[in-house]
Structure formats: structure tokens, C-alpha cells
Amino acid sequence: MSMTATPIPILSDNYAWLLRGSDGAVGIVDPADAAPVIAALEATGGRCDLILLTHHHADHVAGTDAVRARFGCKVAGAAADRHRLPALDIALAEGDTVSLGQARAQVMETPGHTRGHISYFFADGAVLLPGDTLFSLGCGKLLEGTAAEMFASLGKFAALPDDTLVCCGHEYTESNARFALTEEPENQALIARAAEAAAQRRAGQPTLPARLGNERAANPFLRARDAATLGAIRARKDRF
Ligand code: ZN
Ligand code: FE
């Protein structure tokens, strides 16, 4: 048994992620809408030990205090952004680890979308929580950062295994696919992923988690070889 990650659809196109460790510990990532998150936690044993926040945007943090009040759980997030996050019990920086029961997540500072954005990787289960840094077939908008920062942030995922489960903050895969296919119309991995995502959505299913190895083959933002290329792709996507 290893950690599992289940998406909870919230708001218009966000996911909160419900994490369950093999020892029964339960965590929730980016609980922006308290009611569906609390309902999902009640339906799976009524326990929550830890809230993990990726970045300060309201569509990721807004339900945090209500979930904390209901379960009495700890809240972890970026030390660099604690002035604009809900109150943190655990303030995290690059290289830190944070424990969910016996499982430990490695913390990576991944600026680009926002300055204080962090991502989490649980080696147990190979679960990556990249927030709005990496999407399936896309990456986050550069709202507070540069292409160089985003390139370095995405580069931090390079050491992670191909079978890593990529648990993104938004269901953007189909619209990302439409743009990605304009960048790499001949990319067979991309064509296959676009078809898979379309079928998943038709069936009413999330397209996530994605597999990191597949993203390496299909996602033009992960395939960019330098920051200038990434910046150019990002600029075309912004106009798409
Ligand atoms: Zn965001
Ligand atoms: Fe977001």
C-alpha cells in the first residue's frame, strides 16, 4: 500500500486533492471550497490531519479556515507567502519535508505563477502536487514571475520518476491540448493524450492525475529546452 491521491472537483475547474496514507493519515491539498471538501472528508472517515497549500490564490486557499475549524487539522504552506496565506502552523521552504502520518513530502519552491508557489512530492506513492505550476499539457500563467523562473521550477520535476502521478490544481487538459497541438501537431504522445483526455471528459471523468513520463513526451512547456523557448510558448498560449 502507498499513498493515494483523489481529485475533488470544486469551483468551476479546480481540484482539491484528498491524500490518504497507508497508515490512515488524511490530508487535503488546496481546499478552496469548504463544503464539497468537508463532504468528501466526511465520506471517507471524517478525518483530516493536514492541509497543504500550494499558493495564495483564492481558488486554492479560500476554504482553508472552515476545513481547519471542522477537523482541527494543521495547515502547511510557503513561509515566503505567509503574509498572504491563511494562518500557517507549518511554514515551508525549499528542501523542507512535511509529514502526513508516516509519509513525507519533499517541498520544492516553484515560483513563476506566483512568487511564493510551492509544490509537494510524496515519494511514497510518487504523488506530485504542483498546484498551478504544471498542468497536463500546460503550465501556469506567469502572473508574478518570469519564464526563467518557471523554467527552473519545471526543471525541479526533472528528477522525479516517470510514473509520478501529477495532481494539478485545474482541469485544463482539453483546452491545453488544443493549444499544444498547434505547437507540435505531429507529436504522437500529444495526439494520444489529447484523445484520451477528450474521452475522459466525455465520460464525466477527471483527466488527472497525469503521468509525468507522459507529460515529458507530450507537454510542450516541459519539452522546452531553455527559458527563452518556454517564454515564447507561454506568450503564444496567452494570445491563443
Ligand atoms: Zn493560481
Ligand atoms: Fe488556480
Concatenating the DSSP letter of every residue in 167-210 gives: EESB--HHHHHHHHHHH-TT-HHHHHHHHHHHHHHHTT----SE
How high is the pLDDT of residue 98? 98
Q: Which ligand is nearest to the CA of 55?
A: 1
3-state secondary structure of 99: strand
State pLDDT tens for residues 16-63: 999 999 999 999 999 999 999 999 999 999 999 999 999 999 999 999
> What would the grid cell of residue 7 be?
481529485
Mean pLDDT along residues 163-167: 98
Query: Helices in the chain by DSSP H: which ranges?
Result: 34-43, 58-61, 64-71, 147-155, 173-183, 188-202, 212-218, 220-223, 227-239
CA pair distance 61, 54, nearest whole angstrom: 8
Mean pLDDT of the residues in the chain: 98
How high is the pLDDT of residue 160? 98
User: Which is nearest to 65 in space by CA: 86, 91, 88, 47?
Assistant: 86
Question: What pTM, to 2 d.p., does this model score?
Answer: 0.98
State pLDDT tens for residues 176-224: 999 999 999 999 999 999 999 999 999 999 999 999 999 999 999 999 9
Is residue 240 scored above 80 in pLDDT?
A: yes
CA pair distance 2, 19, nearest whole angstrom: 10
Ligand 2 centroid–CA 169 distance in Å is 6
Ligand 1 centroid–CA 97 distance in Å is 23
**Which residues have their alpha-adjacent CB atom under 5 A from ion ligand 1?**
57, 132
Mean pLDDT along residues 64-80: 98
Ligand 2 centroid–CA 172 distance in Å is 10
Ligand 2 centroid–CA 1 distance in Å is 31
CA pair distance 60, 16, nearest whole angstrom: 8
pLDDT band at 151 (very low <50, low <70, confident <90, very high): very high
Percent over 90 (pLDDT), the chain: 100
How high is the pLDDT of residue 213? 98
CA dist 190 to 52, 100, 109, 153, 200, Å?
Answer: 31, 34, 28, 22, 15
Residues forming beta bridges with residue 106, ordered by sequence position: 97, 121
Strand positions, DSSP E, 79-133? 90-92, 97-100, 103-109, 118-122, 127-131
Phi, psi of 76, rounded to the nearest 5 degrees: -120, 140
pLDDT band at 7 (very low <50, low <70, confident <90, very high): very high
CA dist 129 to 173, 183, 191, 210, Å?
Answer: 16, 26, 25, 11
204: left (phi over 0), alpha (psi -120 to 50) or beta: left
How high is the pLDDT of residue 206? 98
Unique residue bearing C-alpha cell 513526451: 217
CA dist 116 to 83, 132, 213, Å?
Answer: 10, 12, 26
